Amino acid sequence: MATLQSWRAAFSIYTQPRVLGMIFLGFSAGLPFLLVFSTLSAWLRDEGVELSVIGFFSWVGVTYSIKIFWAPIVDRLPLPVFTRLLGKRRSWMLLAQIGIAAGLIGMSASDTQGQIEQIALFAVWVAFCSSTQDIVIDAYRIEAVIPELQGAMAATYVFGYRVALLVAGAGAFYIAEFFSWESAYLAMAGLMLVGVITTLIINEPEHKIDKTIYELETQVEAALGVEKKQGIIQRFIAWFSDAVISPFIEFFARNGKSGFVILLLIAVYRMSDITMGVMANPFYLDLGYSKAEIAEVSKVFGFFMTIIGASLGGVMVVRYGIMKPLLLGAVLVAVTNLLFALMANAEPDPMLLAGVISADNLSGGIATSVFIAYLSSLTNSAYTATQYALFSSLMTLPAKLLGGFSGIIVEAFGYSAFFFYAAFVGLPSIILVFIIMSRSREFIVNNRNL
């Protein structure tokens, strides 16, 4: 009975206002993503734009990978009037959301035949504002609640984000089919009101800066010889030192040599998941499954199992802390790749497809929400946006680079060997989690409450 009550108490975290609010912020974050990627590609091709031109539009995605470069500005620069009225995070959040809506309106008002360059510029603007919104929402999520609730915040964020992907994908297609692509993008701009209204309703989180941060920044400024801040150049260097250099120095000062172990774990944790994901759809097709079967199973089972997994991950963080669920997530992601290897040697069976996809999305949901909670716990409240932007960039870049070789491995050794390889790629993350757990006391002290 006590165990049942404790589980009920753990699930009750999803009734807290700030946790529920992340659904709507997640929706606001996910909505622009497909509108500058696959949905935009479909619009352009439907209007007869050449494939070579459409290919160049993929470069818009680089904006999401380099957000670390302006995250320090979001962390430190107050916005005139906005910051005074709304606070540090909500002001940037609202500005980014208005920027996204304006960019989508601009895209909807542009002609794909005679104003393709204008559409490209608006797409870059939407991606820039969207990645800026990501920076701020991540910072708000970390600062709004205690570390134990970060898994739940991540789970509700993932739910809202996934719903937004459905709206910006299938929803935009339906509107375009019955009306026009211009109407679809105009409707998506209107849906950004979900984020705007949420931003105006939520409360600004409390911002606490420890005295040691001031001491650290003073020491770094002194080392650069700009502590007196005389003249424009010295003031700029001092600002750059406080906003850009100090967050990295603070991270290693807090974690010591263990900081390299943490960064290595961040870089490899999602390698198994992303490496497998590159070949998933080609694998289903080559096995003989129809596109309809793949769509139905991946959309229905995949969506709900991801949400269930993310929710379980959030509850596990409350019940067991972060490290044990983090280890579980790493093991599950690696093991589920072996299910794909089994599937590669079996006859096509819709039930088998549903079972494997369900297991994969469930484990992926658990790993994602717990890993986000782990990354959140690593930040210092003085540099939340900057440090988390670094972590989020690091967690995907190496995995995406490795994923690029997936096709070569499949062609050389076949799907079964590839999925064994993808599972093997997950071993470093499991080993690194064990190493960090063996030093748990040091990590708990240095990283708030893992």
pLDDT one-digit tens code per residue, 313-363: 888 888 888 888 999 999 998 898 888 888 888 887 888 888 888 888 899
Looking at the structure of the chain, the number of domains it has is 3
Clarify whether residues 289 and 417 are in a common domain: yes
Task: Please check whether residue 390 is in contact with residue 379, taking contact to mean a CB–CB distance below 8 angstroms.
Answer: no
Distance from C-alpha of 158 to C-alpha of 225, rounded to nearest angstrom:
45
Q: Is the dihedral of CA 442, 447, 449, 450 positive or negative?
A: negative
Clarify whether residues 37 and 157 are in a common domain: yes
- Letter string b/e over residues 335-371, b meaning 16 or more CB atoms within 10 A of that residue's CB: ebbebbbebbeeeeeeebbbebbbbbbbbbbbbbbbb
Any residues with CB less than 8 A from the CB of 112 and at least 6 apart, and which?
43, 44, 47, 48, 49, 119, 181
Clarify whether residues 229 and 280 are in a common domain: no
Find the CATH number of the domain harbouring 163. Answer: 1.20.1250.20
Distance from C-alpha of 8 to C-alpha of 252, rounded to nearest angstrom:
38
pLDDT for the residue numbered 449: 44
Clarify whether residues 197 and 228 are in a common domain: no
Per the structure, the complete domain to which residue 22 belongs is given by: 13-201
Establish if 7 belongs to a structural domain.
Answer: no
Clarify whether residues 101 and 162 are in a common domain: yes
Distance from C-alpha of 290 to C-alpha of 210, rounded to nearest angstrom:
58
pLDDT for the residue numbered 135: 92
Distance from C-alpha of 367 to C-alpha of 9, rounded to nearest angstrom:
22
Clarify whether residues 179 and 222 are in a common domain: no
Structure tokens at 165: 């992907």
Establish if 403 belongs to a structural domain.
Answer: yes
Task: Please check whether residue 59 is in contact with residue 99, taking contact to mean a CB–CB distance below 8 angstroms.
Answer: no
With CA atoms as reference, report the closest residue to 43 among 59, 32, 54: 54
Please give the backbone phi and psi of residue 14, each rounded to the nearest 5 degrees, phi first: -80, 0
pLDDT for the residue numbered 445: 47
Structure tokens at 107: 């895209």
Alpha-carbon distance values, 18 to 78, 104, 338, 349, 375 (Å): 24, 28, 38, 43, 19
pLDDT for the residue numbered 358: 87
Task: Please check whether residue 370 is in contact with residue 333, taking contact to mean a CB–CB distance below 8 angstroms.
Answer: no
- By CB atoms closer than 10 A (0-12, 13-18, 19+), residue 201 is exposed
Q: How many CA atoms lie within 13 A of 246 on its CB side?
A: 28
Please give the backbone phi and psi of residue 376, each rounded to the nearest 5 degrees, phi first: -60, -40
Clarify whether residues 190 and 159 are in a common domain: yes
Please give the backbone phi and psi of residue 121, each rounded to the nearest 5 degrees, phi first: -65, -45
pLDDT for the residue numbered 6: 62
Establish if 419 belongs to a structural domain.
Answer: yes
pLDDT for the residue numbered 131: 92
Distance from C-alpha of 32 to C-alpha of 63, rounded to nearest angstrom:
13
- By CB atoms closer than 10 A (0-12, 13-18, 19+), residue 251 is buried
Low-confidence ranges of the chain (pLDDT < 50): 5, 443-445, 448-450
Clarify whether residues 412 and 266 are in a common domain: yes
- By CB atoms closer than 10 A (0-12, 13-18, 19+), residue 291 is exposed
pLDDT for the residue numbered 287: 81
